[in-house]
Structure 1
Amino acid sequence: MLLLLAILGVGFTIGIRLFPVYMDYYNVKSIMDEVAHSPGIGSQNYHGVWDGISKRLDINDINGITQKNFHMKTVGNQTTLTIKYQVKRHLIANIDGLMSFDYSVHYESKNSGG
């Protein structure tokens, strides 16, 4: 019984430490979707789109995502926004976890410049 409690305790501790990381990821996805569907996004350049995302990240207190993690690619009239980043979290004792996140969203652009 004690062994079962120890295993459950470790699992609970790890879950508690990873929960905020995954909540931030779902907020990042929401921000990306919101920006991709915002009015006038089709005519924005790279810096304009990044500014919109960056402001929303700041409002939601999501740190650690920089412009280096953001990519924008336009092919024809289709634009793809991608955010790729990693988060390292201390789990227990001398064990750390490294989580990699990658999310892309597409929208129709009005110009072919990216």
Structure 2
Amino acid sequence: MKNMTSQRGITLTSFLVVLIVVAFFLYIGMKLFPMYQEYYAVRTALKSLAKEPGVANMEPARVQELFFKRIHMSYSENLKPSDIKFDRIDGGWNLKVNYEVRRELIGNLDVVGKFDTNQDLTLRGAD
């Protein structure tokens, strides 16, 4: 008499379902990652700009030029000059960056990311 042992594991159908779910989430991640990578580049550029000597006394046009030089190094393509606002504060400027990124997801469905950040540009430097 043979000793029968039962085999355990997932079936081909179960494996395909798991593979499809993992592939879907990877696809979503591939659409979202560049948006957040760009946001991180914006935050880094703002912090770097806050450390720029004399930035609190510069005109907004010059500050905006320095900001876009830093952003273009990271190949940012979604920021426009109209997304940047300056407010006068004690001892410098408050630079606000508010922009939206839209990426096609599937067919006529899009994923939209809204990003809003600001940085004080003062004589004290970055806080």
* TM-score, scaled relative to structure 1: 0.86
Q: CA-atom RMSD, angstroms?
A: 1.7
- The runs of 5 or more residues in structure 1 that have no matched partner are none
1:75 aligned onto 2:95 = no
**Conservation of the 8 A alpha-carbon contact between 2:56 and 2:92:** no
4+ residue runs over 3 A deviation: none
1:33 aligned onto 2:50 = no
- The runs of 5 or more residues in structure 2 that have no matched partner are 1-13
Task: Give the structure 2 partner of residue 86 of structure 1.
Answer: 100
**Conservation of the 8 A alpha-carbon contact between 1:42 and 1:108:** yes
Task: Give the structure 1 partner of residue 4 of structure 2.
Answer: none
Matched pairs, number: 110
Larger radius of gyration, structure 1 or 2?
2
Q: CA deviation at 1:81?
A: 0.7
Task: Give the structure 2 partner of residue 107 of structure 1.
Answer: 121
* Deviations, residues 34-86 of structure 1 (Å, cap 9, x unaligned): 11111110110110100101111222211121110001101232521110000
* Deviations, residues 15-44 of structure 1 (Å, cap 9, x unaligned): 012111111110111001111111110110
- Paired with 1:31 and 1:51, the residues of 2 have a C-alpha distance of 12
More relative contact order in 1 or in 2 (CA 8 Å, sep 6+)?
1
- Paired with 2:69 and 2:36, the residues of 1 have a C-alpha distance of 20
- Paired with 1:78 and 1:45, the residues of 2 have a C-alpha distance of 10
1:4 aligned onto 2:18 = yes
Q: Which amino acid aligns with 1:81?
A: L
Identity %: 25
- Paired with 1:51 and 1:10, the residues of 2 have a C-alpha distance of 40
**1:33-52 paired onto structure 2 within 5 Å:** 33-52=47-66
Q: CA deviation at 1:109?
A: 4.8
3-state SS of paired residue (1:48): helix
